[in-house]
């Protein structure tokens, strides 16, 4: 009587879009229709058996009458109808569909009308010529089928009416046509009763529809990200499992794109979490605009999103989708009248080659994302099993760094800064070291990038500032301490509070603290950086420009920063004894610093010839292995308290 709406191998069902379908009206109506069909199927066998039994009762009641042949013919038709649908019902899959089309409901109404019309023939063809006992049997059978049919089809009001209306009309005509006032009252009662039944059917159906709609709404809520209204992690994994089912059944390959935003934490720190939330909403909208309708985009957590790309037999098409996503996110976002810039890195994994299950596939897409993030902002990376070991080592380093501070594995050493003319220590640069439990002591160039990528640089940087200031307060007042501050720290609005806390906790005078920055820090987000530098200078803290001339050097940047100290990079100092170009560059930097009334410090002094050249050119200060190697805090303290000369420190 009803066909199953389950998909077969030749039909493409919108499996991937199931989380999205939950929010549209068609999805709700489809779920309601599925509930209606499932309810009818539950009573189908009983209803068909009741039809067959009632047909046998009629034949038995009219067996001795002249109408026996008509009764047998009618009963045979009902029996064939019932057996046909019983056979179909027991030979179709008994899985309950979760979505049913309107076509299935129309088919159910048609079949209900056909069966009801068949029963309507009973009173029209047999009632008038039947004996009083036969008429009572026919009336009772019609009344029973009206009640039973209304109950069985109650979940679909139109089907219930299609089944009962022909019977009640035919019975009322046949009974009322006899002219007997008692029979006429019976006809009126039948119409009254069926009206009450129809009202009950509509009430039942509306309540069932409301229950299903509420259930769909609850399922939608639990599968939706409240902020972006995108499918969440639960919905994503359900879609991913469905994708693997389709892969096994139809051989349809698919890919997972895993992405997160660049510098999202910096957006939160600078503009606030409300702006960050608004940014995520707009990102979700751009992601949906950048994919096809058959694909799925979900927010997994924080600033992490994932996309399932269907029909991924063409690798280049998937990469184009990733390119489109990255390009869309590179365009500035306007939030409350302010332009906010972000971007994304994308990792791609293909099923089944890169993962035979949802968890493994997503994990390998995450591995590819990790590789992409360590190449360049906005890069796209396919999962590469060969690079997996290197990625694991990098992640292990990241994990160890997260615990290193609490385990007291970091320590500082201090390299003397010497006044070259007087041969006296005038300052010390604080240098970070990491005593790894298994890999030994590691230098900053081995892990600083990871600290900046993870945001740990802010916490570690605050610790360095505090420790350096605590150490320097015990030194002679003429000796300053220099602390390197990364571009990430300098872009943060929290740098001032970190410096103030360190100075307050140590009681160190601000004039004895020197913050060393690179030109890279000035280039990125210069407005915030220059604001922070201005605040530090007003506080009395000295500013040193480190590695000047090694990267993208700009006199405009130099003019905007106006550093208290300019440091000549060791790469230039190393060639002054033999290279005329290095000599010219160092001379220019010394003269420039003199004109700007800034101190000049030469780094990397390792030979007597280098030291002689620098003194001859009037370089004020210097540091390097020749004039002072890095020393532990207790060693540098003893050295300074003894007021030893630079040459003694070098020894």
Q: 473 and 355: one domain? A: no
**So what's the pLDDT on residue 634?**
92
More confidently predicted of 609 and 194: 609
- 467-522 pLDDT, tens digit per residue, is 999 999 999 999 999 999 998 898 888 899 999 999 999 999 999 999 999 877 77
- Which whole number is the average pLDDT over 185-205? 76
Token reading at 191: 């119409």
Q: 183 and 49: one domain? A: yes
- 18-28 pLDDT, tens digit per residue, is 344 434 456 66
Whether the CB-CB separation of 589 and 546 falls below 8 Å is answered with no
CA distance 181 to 192: 17
CA angle centred on 280, ends 278 and 282, rounded to 5°: 70
Mean of per-residue pLDDT scores for the chain: 85
Supply the CATH number for residue 416's domain: 3.20.20.450
Q: How many helices (H) and strands (E) does the chain have?
A: 25, 17
- Residue 458 counted as domain residue: yes
**So what's the pLDDT on residue 168?**
85
Whether the CB-CB separation of 369 and 354 falls below 8 Å is answered with no
535, burial (CB in 10 Å: exposed 0-12, middle 13-18, buried 19+): middle
Q: 611 and 471: one domain? A: yes
Q: 409 and 513: one domain? A: yes
- Domain boundary at 350, 383, 416, which? 383
- Residue 7 counted as domain residue: no
Token reading at 167: 């019977």
Name the residue among 176, 82, 73 with its Cα closest to residue 124. 176
Q: Lowest mean pLDDT: which of 166-180, 231-245, 262-276?
A: 166-180
- 50-79 pLDDT, tens digit per residue, is 888 888 898 888 888 888 899 899 889 988
- Which whole number is the average pLDDT over 177-197? 74
How many structural domains compose the chain?
A: 3
Q: 264 and 240: one domain? A: yes
Q: 292 and 342: one domain? A: yes
Whether the CB-CB separation of 388 and 367 falls below 8 Å is answered with yes
189: containing domain? 18-222
Q: What is the 3-state secondary structure (H, E, C) of 250-272?
A: HCCCEEEEEEEECCHHHHHHHHC
Q: 114 and 49: one domain? A: yes
Helix, strand, or coil (residue 537)? helix
Task: List residues bridging with 434 in a β-sheet.
Answer: 410, 442
- Residue 586 counted as domain residue: yes
Q: 418 and 535: one domain? A: yes
Report cis status (omega within 30 of 0) of the bond before 568.
Answer: no
For residue 342, the 8-state DSSP code is -
Q: 191 and 49: one domain? A: yes
**So what's the pLDDT on residue 147?**
82
**So what's the pLDDT on residue 26?**
62
Q: 564 and 474: one domain? A: yes
Q: 524 and 456: one domain? A: yes
Locate all alpha helices (DSSP H) within 3-67, ordered by sequence. Answer: 18-21, 25-61
- Residue 2 counted as domain residue: no
- Domain boundary at 195, 222, 249, which? 222
Going by C-beta distance under 8 Å and a sequence separation of 6 or more, which residues neighbour residue 73?
none
CA distance 371 to 325: 18
Name the residue among 562, 552, 574 with its Cα closest to residue 622. 574
- Residue 115 counted as domain residue: yes
**So what's the pLDDT on residue 144?**
84
- Which whole number is the average pLDDT over 539-559? 79
How far out from the chain centre does Cα 281 lie? 12
Going by C-beta distance under 8 Å and a sequence separation of 6 or more, which residues neighbour residue 461?
485, 486, 489, 498
- Domain boundary at 222, 241, 271, which? 222
249 has pLDDT over 90: no
CA angle centred on 286, ends 280 and 288, rounded to 5°: 105
**So what's the pLDDT on residue 333?**
94
203 has pLDDT over 60: yes
266 has pLDDT over 90: no
- Residue 522 counted as domain residue: yes
16 has pLDDT over 50: no
Helix, strand, or coil (residue 381)? strand
Name the residue among 463, 533, 464 with its Cα closest to residue 492. 533
371 has pLDDT over 80: yes
Report CA torsion sign: 586, 589, 595, 597. negative
How far out from the chain centre does Cα 169 lie? 60
Whether the CB-CB separation of 371 and 395 falls below 8 Å is answered with no
- Residue 651 counted as domain residue: no
Q: What distances in angstroms separate CA 557 from CA 515, 524, 548, 553, one per listed residue?
A: 17, 11, 11, 8
Name the residue among 299, 294, 304 with its Cα closest to residue 255. 294
Helix, strand, or coil (residue 625)? coil
Whether the CB-CB separation of 483 and 470 falls below 8 Å is answered with no
**So what's the pLDDT on residue 269?**
83
- 413-430 pLDDT, tens digit per residue, is 999 999 999 889 999 999
Whether the CB-CB separation of 415 and 630 falls below 8 Å is answered with yes
Q: 366 and 328: one domain? A: yes
**So what's the pLDDT on residue 559?**
78
**Residue 552 CB coordination number (10 Å):** 9
Supply the CATH number for residue 277's domain: 3.30.70.270
Q: Lowest mean pLDDT: which of 86-90, 95-99, 330-334?
A: 95-99
- Residue 127 counted as domain residue: yes
């Amino acid at each position: 009587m009803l066909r199953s709406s389950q998909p077969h191998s030749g039909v493409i069902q919108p499996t991937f879009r199931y989380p999205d379908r939950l929010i549209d009206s068609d999805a709700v109506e489809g779920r309601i229709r599925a509930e209606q069909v499932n309810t009818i199927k539950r009573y189908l066998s009983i209803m068909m058996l009741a039809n067959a039994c009632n047909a046998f009762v009629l034949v038995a009641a009219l067996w001795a009458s002249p109408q026996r042949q008509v009764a047998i013919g009618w009963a045979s038709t009902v029996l064939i109808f019932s057996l046909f649908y019983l056979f179909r019902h027991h030979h179709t899959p008994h899985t309950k569909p979760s979505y049913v089309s309107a076509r299935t409901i129309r088919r159910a109404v048609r079949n209900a009308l056909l069966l009801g019309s068949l029963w309507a023939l009973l009173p029209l063809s047999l009632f008038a010529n039947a004996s009083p006992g036969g008429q009572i049997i026919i009336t009772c059978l019609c009344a029973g089928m009206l009640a039973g049919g209304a109950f069985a089809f109650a979940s679909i009001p139109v089907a219930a009416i299609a089944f009962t209306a022909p019977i009640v009309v035919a019975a009322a005509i046949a009974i009322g046509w006899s002219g007997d006032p008692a029979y006429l009252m019976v006809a009126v009662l039948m119409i009254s009763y069926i009206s009450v039944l129809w009202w009950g059917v509509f009430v039942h159906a509306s309540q069932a529809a409301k229950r299903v709609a509420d259930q769909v709404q609850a399922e939608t809520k639990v599968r939706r990200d409240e902020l972006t209204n995108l499918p969440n992690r639960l919905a994503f994994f359900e879609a991913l499992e469905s994708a693997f089912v389709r892969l096994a059944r139809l051989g349809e390959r698919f890919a997972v794109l895993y992405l997160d935003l660049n510098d999202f934490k910096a957006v939160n720190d600078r503009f606030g979490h409300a702006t960050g939330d608004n940014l995520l909403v707009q990102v979700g909208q751009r992601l949906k605009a950048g994919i096809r309708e058959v694909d799925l985009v979900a927010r997994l957590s924080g600033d992490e999103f994932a996309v399932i790309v269907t029909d991924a037999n063409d690798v280049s098409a998937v990469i184009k989708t990733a390119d489109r996503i990255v390009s869309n996110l590179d365009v500035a976002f306007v939030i409350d009248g302010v332009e906010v810039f972000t971007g994304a890195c994308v990792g791609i994994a293909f099923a089944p080659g890169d993962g035979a299950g949802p968890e493994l596939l997503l994990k390998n897409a995450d591995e590819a994302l990790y590789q992409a993030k360590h190449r360049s902002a906005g890069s796209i990376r396919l999962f590469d099993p060969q690079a997996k070991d290197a990625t694991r080592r990098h992640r292990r380093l990241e994990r160890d760094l997260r615990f290193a501070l609490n385990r007291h594995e970091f320590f500082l050493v201090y390299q003397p800064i010497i006044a070259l003319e007087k041969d006296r220590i005038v300052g010390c640069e604080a240098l970070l070291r990491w005593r790894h439990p298994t890999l030994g002591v590691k230098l900053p160039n081995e892990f600083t990038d990871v600290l900046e990528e993870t945001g740990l640089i802010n916490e570690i940087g605050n610790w360095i500032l505090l420790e350096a200031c605590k150490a320097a307060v015990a030194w002679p007042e003429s000796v300053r301490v220099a602390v390197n501050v990364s571009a990430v720290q300098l872009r943060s609005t929290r740098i001032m509070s970190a410096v103030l806390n360190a100075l307050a906790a140590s009681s160190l005078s601000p004039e004895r603290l020197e913050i060393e920055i690179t030109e890279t820090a000035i280039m990125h987000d210069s407005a915030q950086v220059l604001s922070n530098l201005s605040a530090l200078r007003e506080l009395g803290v000295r500013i040193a420009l480190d590695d000047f001339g090694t990267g993208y050097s700009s006199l405009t940047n130099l003019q905007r920063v106006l550093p208290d100290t300019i440091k000549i990079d060791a790469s230039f100092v190393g060639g002054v004894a033999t290279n005329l170009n290095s000599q010219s560059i160092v001379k220019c930097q010394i003269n420039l610093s003199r004109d700007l009334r800034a101190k000049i410090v030469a780094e990397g002094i390792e030979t007597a010839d280098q030291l002689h050249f620098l003194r001859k050119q009037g370089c004020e200060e210097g540091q390097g292995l020749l004039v002072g190697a890095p020393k532990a805090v207790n060693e540098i303290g003893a050295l300074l308290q003894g007021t030893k000369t630079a040459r003694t420190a070098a020894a």
